[in-house]
Structures are given as C-alpha cells and as structure tokens.
Structure 1
Amino acid sequence: MAGIAAEARSLVRLSTKGSLATLEATSGAPYVSLITLATEADGSPIFLISTLARHTRNLVADPRAAILLDGTGLGSPGGGDPLQGARLTLSGRAERTDDPAARRRFLARQAQAAFYADFPDFSFWRLEIEGAHFIGGFGRIVDLSPEDLLVPVAGAESLLEAEEGIVAHMNEDHADAVALYAQVFGGVAPDPAAPPNPAQPPWLMSGLDPLGCDLVRGTEALRIDFKGRIHTPQDARKELVRLVDEARATLGSA
C-alpha cells in the first residue's frame, strides 16, 4: 500500500491538467470539463476558474466534485495505452481560496494563466480531498484516504513561510543546480546528438514542501523527492545542497 500511495502522490504532483466532474446546478446531472492544475504544499489540487464557466456555477450550487488524473505519458507504466497506465480519481468538496500561496504556486506551475488570473470573474479553488480511487494497471486497484495522499505540514510552518524566497533564490542564483536535478533525478538528460535549442526554456523550481520539490519547463513537470522529511529553511538548504552533490557524483561516475 505504501508504494501505491507514493505513486498516487507523485501522479498528483506531476499532473498539470485534469478532468473536473461537477453536478449540474439545474438538473443534478454529471458534467465534466478540462482544467489546469497545481498543488498546495500538502498536495491538495488547486485550479483557477471563471464564474462564466458552467463548472463554477455548478460548484457554487453544490461543492461536491471529483478530478480525474491520467498518468499516460507522465512516466507511469503502460506506455501509450491509457488503460495500462496509472490514473487517479480524487473526490471531495471544492472551495474558493484567497491564500496568496495558492495563487503563487499555481502561477509558478501555469505561467500562461498570469494573463487572466486577475480578471474579476476568475478565482482560485482547491479540492478538499475526502477520498481517492487509484488504478495502476491490471489488478492494481486501491481506494486511498486523504492521509495516504496529503503531506502533513504541521511543524513545517517556517519552511512554508520561506518557500517563496527559497524557490526564487534557486531559480535566480542556482539555475545550474535546478538543471542538474532535472537531468539526474528527473531522467531528462539532453540528447548529446541534438543541436542546442536556444528557444528551449530552462527548468524552473515551482514549489517546495516537506517531502520534495517540483520543477517545470513549459508544460512538462518533474517531482524531486527528498531523502527524508524536512521542517525548516535550514533543512531545505542542506537537502538542496546534498542533492547537488549527489547529482554531480552521479554524473562523475557515469
């Protein structure tokens, strides 16, 4: 179960989009739409939606909702066959959030949304997870609880307060380290035979939490797990330095 829960948590962190299921405000019939996603520090999904959209009107009338995440193409087993790859349905209640951290983490993950994020009809929402159903391929079907999926953040308050500064510092002053994380731990080493592509954006750190950090490059996403749980900014610094040292050692021995 621990391995499946970890796989499900990784799928949530890696997913940049999902299918949002709501209940029609007028008839109660199911309605499904596509949304872009990010996560709060604890792993709760967050999304940005407009009051002009049907799904928003549905949530205002009835907050019950579900989000389906498809792991096809995100490194899950099964290759291109979606029925052999991992998928996860998160169910719970959606609620609007004005938390600045939710806004920051979403826009770090979905940079294109900055264009319309401040439009008066748009607002940020989070899904309060009440349960989940994970399918990891044939014979791997498990129901998961919120405790299986969410990262406890109690005791890590100073880390979360410093997260914005840590992420900015890594992107502005240690872009080489972020690139190393992606190359060594994310398995995205550049093709030595491919010509340089100056139009290719760099990997950026988009978020950090007690169990790891998230990287993005355009629509691509990576999750880098820490060796152990961290609680403070000092812990984060030590772990990020350790990852750089490990990455360099790995490349040196390759």
Structure 2
Amino acid sequence: MSETRADGPEPRGPARPLPAAEAPFDAVGLARDLLRATRAGALATLDAQGTPFASLVTVATDADGTPLMLLSRLSAHTRNLLADPRCSLLLARTGKGDPLAHPRLTVAGRAAQTAEPRARERFLARHPKAALYADFPDFGFFALAPEAGHLNGGFAKAATLTRDELLLDLAGAEAVVAGERGAVEHMNADHADALALYARDAGERSWRLTGLDPEGMDLIAGERTARVTYPEPVSDMGGLRRALVAMAARAREAPGA
C-alpha cells in the first residue's frame, strides 16, 4: 500500500522525452536538418570487451538521410564495427555560448560497409579533400542504418524519433535521386548566383551544391554548411526545376536582396 505525503504529492522524476509526433516543436524537421547539415560527429562503437569507444568521424548523408562515413580498417572504431555493427552517432550544432544550449541528435543503429556508388559520390561531394585517401586499400564507405534517434533541441526541447521519422521516404521520387548528380553539376556550373540566394540567411556568398533530394538541398562554403528545404517535397525533375526557380524568384524579391 502506497503512502501519501502530508505536505503534498510525491516529487516527480525527470521528464522523459516525448515522441517526435507529440513534441511541441518541429522535432522531425530539426533532426533531419542536423543529419544533413553536420559534417562531423562522435561515433560510439563497442570494443571486444563491450566497452563503449567514442571517436571523431566525418559524416555525409545518402539521399534519404542515412549517415555515411569513410573509415579506415586501421582505426579502432572500424575494427569494432566489423566485429559488432551496433553503434551510435552524435551530431551537434556548435556556436557561441553554452554548448548545451545548441541542438544535438544521437542516431542509434547498425553500420555496415557499402559499395553503393552514390555513397561515394555524396560523401566526396561533401568532403572533397577526402578524395586524396578514399581509394587507399584500407579505407571503405560505411552506412549507418538508423533504428532510433534522440534529439535535444536545447533547453526543455527533447524528443525521440523512429527510423521513419529520421529518414526520408524516397518512394515515388526515384527520378530525383537518379538525376541528382547532373542537377548538382549544372547548378554549380551555371547558377552560383541562385545558390547564394538560397543560402543567403547562412551569411556566405560562395556556396556550392553537394547534394539534392526530394525534400531539400545541401550546400557548403569552405567549412560552413547550409540545408535549404523546398516549399514542399518534389517527386520529379520538373517539380525540382519549378521549385528552384520559384525559390530564387522569391529570394530576389525579398527585402535586402
């Protein structure tokens, strides 16, 4: 039989993160933005004794948002993954002030080596300098298949996410995925002015497009990144062109353009 405190109700424990669908903020949008825009993160693997081992890795994403990594078999984290693929990846946005005031996302799942050509293309577009060693025999590309996510968006903003909330469903948008590389090359070669308009709020001018997907575009300027989403998802190249033209027109008409 439980006892009742004379001076009031029992104290409550720490609040648990809400499922993303119940969170009072756009948890899915913020989590996907962190996935796409963060170029490096802390990878936690398990060694032979089951001891957690954390290390720093560079990160890109596949078209659906799956985290991609280029890893060397000479590294402890790679040997750990080859023996036990369970891992988690912490992606954090940095900035001035208290580091814990900025959003961060932990993605838990299993990582495995991939020979998918798109993984190589998207990773090297995001990290061009990695082309210097990507073909070394001890290196390989790994994809982390998410099983769950934990988002901390800052003070009092936490949520848990499912695999389907972390990743973008590509069904019906295969044409965008197939036409991505050609569209990226065309935009970088002929429409640098439009890219600067899309990413104007990020505060740089010399942006390059690294990837396109049905939900948005990924850009880099030196070490800086920007994730720009379309007004609504697109499913074919015609819809993509219309979205990009409309976004550029609105940006040109905005105050201060």
Contact 2:196 2:204 (C-alpha < 8 Å) held by counterparts? no
Distance in structure 2 (CA, Å) of the matches to 1:172 and 1:137: 38
Contact 1:70 1:82 (C-alpha < 8 Å) held by counterparts? no
Aligned residue for 1:214, secondary structure, equals: strand
1:128 aligns with 2:145: yes
The alpha-carbon deviation at position 72 of structure 1 amounts to 2.1
Closer, same or farther in 2 for the Cα pair 1:173/1:71, shift >3 Å?
same
The alpha-carbon deviation at position 189 of structure 1 amounts to 5.4
Contact 1:109 1:206 (C-alpha < 8 Å) held by counterparts? yes
Correspondence list, 1:202-241, <5 A: 202-241=206-245
Distance in structure 2 (CA, Å) of the matches to 1:39 and 1:81: 27
Correspondence list, 1:75-224, <5 A: 79-183=96-200, 186-188=201-203, 202-224=206-228
One-letter amino acid matched to 2:208: L
The alpha-carbon deviation at position 216 of structure 1 amounts to 0.5
Distance in structure 2 (CA, Å) of the matches to 1:132 and 1:225: 21
Tell me the TM-score normalised to structure 1 length.
Answer: 0.89
The alpha-carbon deviation at position 175 of structure 1 amounts to 1.2
Distance in structure 1 (CA, Å) of the matches to 2:204 and 2:126: 21
For the pair shown, the structure with the greater C-alpha radius of gyration is 2
The alpha-carbon deviation at position 119 of structure 1 amounts to 0.7
The alpha-carbon deviation at position 59 of structure 1 amounts to 0.3
Closer, same or farther in 2 for the Cα pair 1:169/1:82, shift >3 Å?
same
Q: Counterpart of 1:14?
A: 37
Q: Counterpart of 2:20?
A: none
Q: Counterpart of 1:64?
A: 86
Tell me the TM-score normalised to structure 2 length.
Answer: 0.88
The alpha-carbon deviation at position 209 of structure 1 amounts to 0.5
The alpha-carbon deviation at position 180 of structure 1 amounts to 1.6
Q: Counterpart of 1:36?
A: 58
Q: Percent identity?
A: 47
Distance in structure 1 (CA, Å) of the matches to 2:212 and 2:204: 22
1:14-62: CA deviation from partner (whole Å, max 9, x where unpaired): 10000000000x3111100000011111111101000111101000000
1:145-183: CA deviation from partner (whole Å, max 9, x where unpaired): 111111110111111000000000000111111122122
Distance in structure 1 (CA, Å) of the matches to 2:84 and 2:175: 35
Gaps of 5+ in 2: 1-22
One-letter amino acid matched to 1:207: G
Closer, same or farther in 2 for the Cα pair 1:218/1:189, shift >3 Å?
closer
Write out the 4+ residue segments of structure 1 that deviate beyond 4 Å after TM superposition: none
Contact 1:72 1:80 (C-alpha < 8 Å) held by counterparts? no
Over the aligned positions, Cα root-mean-square deviation in angstroms equals: 1.3
Distance in structure 2 (CA, Å) of the matches to 1:180 and 1:141: 32
Aligned length: 234
Contact 1:72 1:81 (C-alpha < 8 Å) held by counterparts? no
Deviates more, 1:61-70 or 1:1-10: 1-10
One-letter amino acid matched to 2:66: S
Distance in structure 1 (CA, Å) of the matches to 2:97 and 2:80: 33
